Amino acid sequence: MSSLTVTRTLPADATTAALRADVAHGLTRTPKQLPPKWFYDARGSELFDEITTLPDYYPTRAEREILINHSADIAAATGARTLVELGSGSSDKTRHLIAALTDLHTYVPVDVSESALTTAAETLLGLHPSLTVHALVADFQQGFALPGTPGPRLLAFLGGTIGNLLPEERTTFLRATHALLSPGDALLLGTDLVKPEPTLIAAYDDPTGITAEFNKNVLHVINRELEADFDPSDFQHVALWNAEREWIEMRLRAKKELTVKVPALDLAVPFAEGEEIRTEISAKFRKEGVRDELKAAGFELSRWWTDGEGRFGVSLAVR
């Protein structure tokens, strides 16, 4: 018997309210910035899925390799009956995990994209008709309650998405995650690893321009939701490596001096020629750093796996 429930943790207009606040704040400060979560409307989620198939975008393939090789270990180590997945997107790599978790009863995908959630849930229920899927449309940084499902629980945060958070945001996030879980529950965390700059840049600045389109999608989202008049072609996609902080930054650089109107906010946003909006950080990690951050939040790193080329790390930590 298939069972699918979709729960919005926030009223539908809360998403718009959060976008308004982020745009009002991010485009009136210097330097300008926008949070990466606004990339992911239906179009943005599609573009991200295309990115994961690009030859130079290695994280998805590397993490999938790890999950294929170690899902049975993860199942044995956790005995999870509930799998919670933050930023689940298309739930593509999670399929291996779900297939391996022999005692799994409930899957709780959590994502800001309702379209990605429902598509993924339907696909999974086709494969596992006896699974209970309780999808949550939520922003995991805002905090949310877990449905009362059987333990032990495994909370997966894959893809390297934790790298989108600033170090202080990661601390807050990991502490909140620790508080959400019970003793005996586990955290499965995917982290992209520090590697030579050319490999990193190639992953975030592909020759086909799909990453550029993905980056500019945030402007389309703001145009649609807040009636703004961004012309995405006025902006250039920029990817750079911040060696000191060990993160990739994506930016959108104004090709000329211009002013953008955001009527819904009663705002006019001036750009100098060459002025940039930082649209994403994607931090890269080392094993010791991951272990320390987990430890500071109350988790003990119990297993660490990488792909054959050592590009990506997956941690299993017990609560």
State the binding site: 57, 87, 93, 111, 139-140, 164, 204, 280-282
Q: Which is nearer to ligand AVJ, 186 or 203 (CB)?
A: 203
With CB under 6 A as the contact rule, the residue among 111, 205, 280, 307 that binds ligand AVJ is: 280
Query: Which has the closest alpha carbon to 317: 300, 298, 293, 292?
Result: 300
Q: What's the length of the chain?
A: 319
Output b/e per residue, 89-110; b: 16+ Cβ within 10 A: bbbbbbbbbbebbeebebbbbb
With CB under 6 A as the contact rule, the residue among 164, 177, 217, 315 that binds ligand AVJ is: 164
Query: Which has the closest alpha carbon to 154: 76, 62, 60?
Result: 76
> Binding marks (x or -) toward ligand AVJ, 184..223, rule CB under 6 A?
--------------------x------x------------
- Candidate segments 63-71, 160-168, 226-234, 258-266, binder of ligand AVJ by CB under 6 A: 160-168
- Candidate segments 122-130, 158-166, 175-183, 305-313, binder of ligand AVJ by CB under 6 A: 158-166
**Binding-site positions for S-adenosyl-L-methionine:** 87, 93, 111, 139-140
Asked if 45 is part of the footprint of ligand AVJ (rule: CB under 6 A), the reply reads no
Q: How far is it, in rounded angstroms, from Cα 38 to Cα 56?
A: 24
Q: Is 148 exposed, middle or buried (0-12, 13-18, 19+ CB in 10 A)?
A: exposed
Asked if 116 is part of the footprint of ligand AVJ (rule: CB under 6 A), the reply reads no
Structure token pair of residue 140 = 């995991």
CA atoms within 13 A on the CB side of 257: 1
Structure token pair of residue 307 = 């792909």
Asked if 26 is part of the footprint of ligand AVJ (rule: CB under 6 A), the reply reads no
Asked if 88 is part of the footprint of ligand AVJ (rule: CB under 6 A), the reply reads no
Asked if 59 is part of the footprint of ligand AVJ (rule: CB under 6 A), the reply reads yes
Cβ atoms of residues 145 and 171 within 8 Å: no
Q: Shortest gap between Cβ of 161 and ligand AVJ (angstroms)?
A: 4
Q: Shortest gap between Cβ of 115 and ligand AVJ (angstroms)?
A: 16
- Candidate segments 70-78, 121-129, 156-164, 174-182, binder of ligand AVJ by CB under 6 A: 156-164
**Termini Cα distance of the chain:** 32
Distinct helix (H) and strand (E) counts, the chain: 9, 14
- Give contact residues for ligand AVJ (rule: CB under 6 A): 51, 59, 159-161, 163-164, 204, 211, 250, 280, 282
